[in-house]
Amino acid sequence: MDEREASLLAALPEQIHLAQRRAPAYGRILGGIDAMAVTTWEALAALPVTRKADLTELQGRHPPFGGFSAVAPGELARIFASPGPIFDPEARRGDYWRFARALFATGFRAGDVLHNCFSYHFTPAGSMFESGAQALGCAVFPAGTGNTELQVQAMAGVRPAGYAGTPDYLKVILEKADEQGVDLSFLRFGHVTGGAFMPDVKSFYRDRGLEVFQSYGTADLGLVAYESAAREGLILDEHVIVEIVRPGTGDPVAEGEVGEIVVTILNRDYPLVRFATGDLSAFMPGTSPCGRTNRRIRGWLGRADQTTKVKGMFVHAGQIAEVLKRHPECARGRLVVDRADGADRMTLRVESEPAAGLSEALAASLVAVTKLKGQVEIVPPGSLTNDGKVIEDLRKYES
């Protein structure tokens, strides 16, 4: 175990104990758990997972934070609302969301000006990047979203070193500047998040000589991982403990396998423990060529919520995981849903060595767990695509 991993695991017991004492929701969720014994990955994986749906439900019953905050609302700097709504606290301390590290890796330094095109109302993205930039000693132009012509004018007047915003919007601004004959070639950097950073958009920036990097975070957690000049995956932030689990469960997957990102954050004000983001990724082996030694993930690879409805009944990824758990000789599995003869059809494809009676046993477990009958197909180990999909719905829907 390296020094960083040992340090993170050593911090876990006190963080769990703090959550139990100061966040009433975790006093219930983690009640009866010996916090001082949570010192290994295995012990962490045995704790319950908290999901966004839990936040929404409990915040409705116990506003504004559902008992997950360790700080009273009046002691905070700001309170934000994400879609749901889910209310997110920001405590009174610098770089609360920890984006300074990501901006530094992008190239921002003290004395630079950041043109911040993230929203400043309701959601915390604007504050995330402003507080991170100010922690580096940068000035910030609080541009917010929209008003593209005004964005061009402001950039031309202030001449910022770089941009922060969604991946596509800088392209929109630059194209508007081209249309108006405004020179924005002084821009050197860009930092983007909040959406998929598509290859064609990356090429557009690269062709203009712009160094644009990405990060991954959420409104609940702040920064989780960020890109460096090596451009090989995203490097985990120093204050998060990340697991990759099988979608719909809290069970860690094998190294390199795609699964759901689950984060325990070392935040004394909002101590989220095993918070399931609903996003898919996978750990990368080794360390970054840039010299940073923390673990890396592959970046955002889609959503983990793969719930579908078959013959009028919902089928969840967690149910398929439960079927596989009943048959430890099986590795990965995927439920494929399609139509045949005018009716919904389920086929459970499972990686395993052939064994007498296995298909029949799996079919029985599928019925027991989902209350629906389905076919079973045994496939060779390693043959299912490593993309995190547990349920694949092939049915065509009318638009």
- Write out pLDDT tens, residues 357-371: 999 999 999 999 999
* Average pLDDT for the chain: 93
In angstroms, the CA 385 to CA 398 distance is 27
Q: Any residues with CB less than 8 A from the CB of 155 and at least 6 apart, and which?
A: 115, 173, 177, 184, 187
Q: What is the CATH number of the domain that holds 337?
A: 3.30.300.30
Q: How many folded domains does the chain comprise?
A: 3
Residue 69 has pLDDT above 70, yes or no: yes
Largest Cα–Cα separation, the chain: 74
Render pLDDT for 308-343 as a digit per residue (tens, 0 to 9): 888 878 888 889 989 999 999 998 899 999 988 877
- Is-contact 63 89, C-beta < 8 A? no
Residue 228 has pLDDT above 90, yes or no: yes
Mark 20-52 as b/e (b = at least 16 C-beta within 10 Å). beebbbbeebbeebebeebbeeebbeebebbbb
pLDDT value at position 399? 32
**What average pLDDT does this structure show over 192-199?**
88
Pair (296, 313) in one structural domain: no
Pair (361, 338) in one structural domain: yes
pLDDT band at 397 (very low <50, low <70, confident <90, very high): low
Pair (158, 214) in one structural domain: yes
**What average pLDDT does this structure show over 381-389?**
90
Residues, the chain, total? 399
Angle at the Cα of 227 from the Cα atoms of 122 and 138, rounded to 5 degrees: 60
Residue where a domain stops, chosen among 305, 329, 350: 305
Positive or negative: CA dihedral 164, 239, 256, 395: negative
- Classify residue 250: in a domain, yes or no: yes
By residue range, what is the domain housing residue 212? 93-219
Query: Which stretch, 51-55, 92-96, 307-311, has highest mean pLDDT?
Result: 92-96
Render pLDDT for 233-266 as a digit per residue (tens, 0 to 9): 999 999 999 999 998 889 999 999 999 999 999 9
**H-helix segments, 107-248:** 125-135, 148-158, 169-180, 199-207
Angle at the Cα of 41 from the Cα atoms of 37 and 47, rounded to 5 degrees: 65
- Classify residue 191: in a domain, yes or no: yes
**What average pLDDT does this structure show over 130-138?**
98
- Classify residue 107: in a domain, yes or no: yes
User: What share of the chain has pLDDT > 90, as a percent?
Assistant: 81
Mark 318-353 as b/e (b = at least 16 C-beta within 10 Å). bbbbbbbeeeeebbbbbbbbeeeeeebbbbbbbbbe
Pair (199, 116) in one structural domain: yes
**What average pLDDT does this structure show over 37-53?**
95
**What average pLDDT does this structure show over 127-141?**
98
- Classify residue 78: in a domain, yes or no: no
- Is-contact 194 206, C-beta < 8 A? no
In angstroms, the CA 35 to CA 12 distance is 8
Positive or negative: CA dihedral 80, 86, 91, 93: negative
In angstroms, the CA 136 to CA 382 distance is 46
Residue where a domain stops, chosen among 249, 272, 305: 305
